[in-house]
């Protein structure tokens, strides 16, 4: 059986190589590719994706997984061998239901949609993006049709990003969370607002970049196995655990936007760089789920990056870099400024108190599109109505509303709830880490994040996809995702 297992890992490694190659083309598409190359790039990604899909649905792979199942289970339920065969089999059973021509069409449609979204966002014109999104919604409905009926059709999409999670579970979590968050926001809005005018100045972009690199390095990001570039929407991508790249963006008159973007993406990258080397080029390489991944980015961005101990170490250095902006601004002023709570239009710029409401809005719209209770053409109006209902503000245009995120252009329906779930997991992980390492705040005051990263690596990162997300959270914290 060991020989069969080696055949399996060889085949899975080749599939991983192809998918990493497609990811490299997608990274280039969002960073350096000339606009005129969009059609050709779509075909290239489609070709590679189709080859990978054909290999990952081949009878050879299915036979190997069938033959190895009993033997793998005999190696121990938590063993790498058993986990690899289990996860590979789960992936295979999903992929084999999806026709190759669908994979090709999906790649071509989403590549064109990405460039349409970029143009539409720049012009604040949803009409440019609308026909592309209509195709994407129909493709997602068609994808759902490949699978047996679920409790809710959205379950099939959600499972791609949060394995084992049901739409009803997410709704229940959000329904418990929403009233408390709305109440909190209402209470804060009635109080005197924090002065953060010093944040709304022009900060030199290269100096912002350099400071972000300094912080990412302190967190533990390995620049020998990664790099940072610019993109319209910040993201992290991995071509192997030895090539994990991040991007950031700069907002005019926003002194901390690029910094917190870099911290956020560094959190994702640390996860990918920390996966056990034995999982390289296997289906276990990567995060357990999107919520687990988001828990890492939000932990480093918010729980660490917006904390007072963190800035007790870094703020004096930031003042030296931007003396004209910050010379008269006390540490407490800066700390209050970066933690200002207000109703805002843009999700990625939202504070911790309002952020989850942005996610709930998107989840509801995605479910409605899949159910057919909202048509794509009515999306801007529906978006604006929910923004007013949940946050008490209405977007002035499409760029600040329905067009602000890139995810739908990539066809990623089923994704958004994982952002809020990740927030919850990050708080649970921090609570457990603080109990295990009561000196964490003093360590941060010295700019030392070694024990925190080691704890995350040992409890979360190293396992990759070995465990289902809810089971991994329970394994580490003693309970599942808890609102």
Neighbours of 434 (CB within 10 A): 14
Burial class (CB in 10 A: 0-12, 13-18, 19+), 332: exposed
Tokens of 174: 């959000």
DSSP state of 334: H
Rounded to 10 deg, the angle between the 167-189 and 352-371 helix axes is 140
Reduced to 3 states (helix: H, G, I; strand: E, B; else coil), residue 344 is: coil
pLDDT band of residue 284 (cuts 50, 70, 90) is: very high
Please give the share of the chain, as a percent, with pLDDT higher than 90: 84
Q: Provide the pairing of β-strand 243-248 with 236-240.
A: antiparallel
User: Listing from the earlier edge strand, what are the strands of the sheet with 243-248?
Assistant: 228-230, 243-248, 236-240
The rounded mean pLDDT for the chain is 94
**pLDDT at site 321:** 95
Average pLDDT over residues 416-445: 96
Above 80 in pLDDT, residue 313? yes
3-class SS at 245? strand
Candidates 258, 224, 216; CA nearest to 244 is 224
State the CB neighbour count (10 A cutoff) for residue 206.
9
Asked if 201 and 258 touch (Cβ cutoff 8 Å), the reply is no
pLDDT digits (tens, 9 = 90+) for 164-177: 999 999 999 999 99
What is the average pLDDT across 210-234?
A: 95
Q: What is the pLDDT of residue 26?
A: 93
306 and 439 Cβ atoms separated by less than 8 Å: no
Residue-wise pLDDT tens digits, 226-242? 999 999 889 999 999 99
Catalytic residue among 95, 162, 265, 366: 265
Residue 79: Cβ within 10 Å count: 14
Q: Virtual CA dihedral for 362, 366, 369, 375, nearest 10 degrees? A: 20
Average of per-residue pLDDT across 386-410: 93
265 in active site: yes
d(CA 112, CA 108): 6
What residues contact 3, with CB distance under 8 A and at least 6 apart? none
pLDDT at residue 255 greater than cutoff 80: no
pLDDT of residue 438 exceeding 90: yes
**pLDDT value at position 186?**
84
Largest CA distance in the chain: 70
Contacts of 316 (CB under 8 A, 6+ apart): none
Question: Measuring CA to CA, which residue among 303, 337, 284, 217 is closest to residue 465?
Answer: 284
Q: What is the pLDDT of residues 301-310, one digit of tens each?
A: 999 999 999 9
């Amino acid at each position: 059986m060991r020989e069969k297992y080696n055949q399996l890992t060889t085949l899975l490694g080749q599939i991983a190589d192809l998918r990493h190659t497609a990811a490299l083309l997608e990274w280039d598409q969002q960073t350096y590719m000339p606009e005129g190359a969009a059609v050709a790039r779509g075909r290239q990604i489609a070709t590679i994706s189709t080859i990978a899909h054909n290999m990952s649905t081949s009878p050879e792979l299915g036979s190997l997984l069938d033959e190895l199942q009993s033997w793998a289970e005999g190696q121990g339920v938590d063993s790498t061998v058993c986990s690899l065969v289990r996860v590979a089999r789960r992936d295979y059973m999903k992929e084999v239901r999806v026709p190759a021509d669908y994979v090709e069409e999906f790649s071509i449609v989403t590549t064109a949609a990405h460039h349409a979204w970029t143009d539409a966002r720049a012009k604040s014109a949803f009409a440019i993006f609308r026909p592309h999104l209509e195709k994407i919604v129909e493709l997602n409905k068609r994808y759902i049709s490949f699978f047996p009926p679920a409790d809710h059709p959205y379950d099939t999409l959600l499972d791609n990003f949060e394995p084992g999670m049901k739409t009803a579970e997410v709704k229940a979590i959000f329904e418990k969370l929403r009233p408390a968050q709305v109440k909190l926001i209402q209470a804060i809005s009635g109080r005197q607002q924090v002065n953060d005018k010093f944040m709304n100045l022009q900060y030199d972009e290269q100096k912002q970049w350099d400071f972000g690199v300094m912080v990412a390095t302190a967190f533990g990001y390995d620049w020998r196995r990664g790099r940072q570039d610019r993109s319209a929407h910040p993201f992290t991508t991995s071509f192997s655990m030895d090539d994990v790249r991040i991007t950031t963006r700069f907002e005019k008159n926003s002194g901390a936007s690029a910094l917190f973007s870099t911290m956020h993406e560094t959190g994702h990258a640390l996860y990918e760089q920390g996966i056990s080397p034995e999982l390289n080029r296997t289906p276990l390489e990567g995060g357990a789920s999107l919520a687990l991944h988001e828990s890492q980015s939000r932990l480093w961005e918010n729980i660490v990056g917006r904390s007072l101990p963190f800035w007790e170490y870094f703020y004096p250095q930031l003042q030296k870099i931007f003396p004209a902006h910050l010379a008269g601004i006390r540490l407490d002023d800066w700390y209050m400024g970066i933690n200002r709570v207000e109703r805002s239009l843009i999700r990625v710029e939202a504070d911790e108190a309002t952020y989850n409401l942005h996610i709930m809005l998107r989840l509801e719209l995605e479910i409605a599109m899949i159910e057919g209770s909202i048509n794509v053409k009515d999306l801007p109006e529906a978006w604006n109505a929910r923004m007013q209902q949940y946050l008490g503000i209405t977007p002035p245009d499409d760029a600040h509303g329905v067009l602000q995120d890139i995810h739908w252009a990539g066809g990623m329906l089923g994704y958004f709830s994982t952002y809020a779930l990740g927030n919850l997991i990050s708080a649970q992980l921090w609570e457990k880490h603080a109990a295990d390492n009561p000196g964490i705040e003093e360590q941060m005051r010295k700019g030392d994040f070694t024990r925190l990263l080691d704890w995350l690596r040992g409890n979360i990162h190293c396992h990759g996809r070995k465990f289902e997300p809810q089971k991994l959270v329970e394994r580490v914290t003693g309970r599942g995702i808890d609102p």
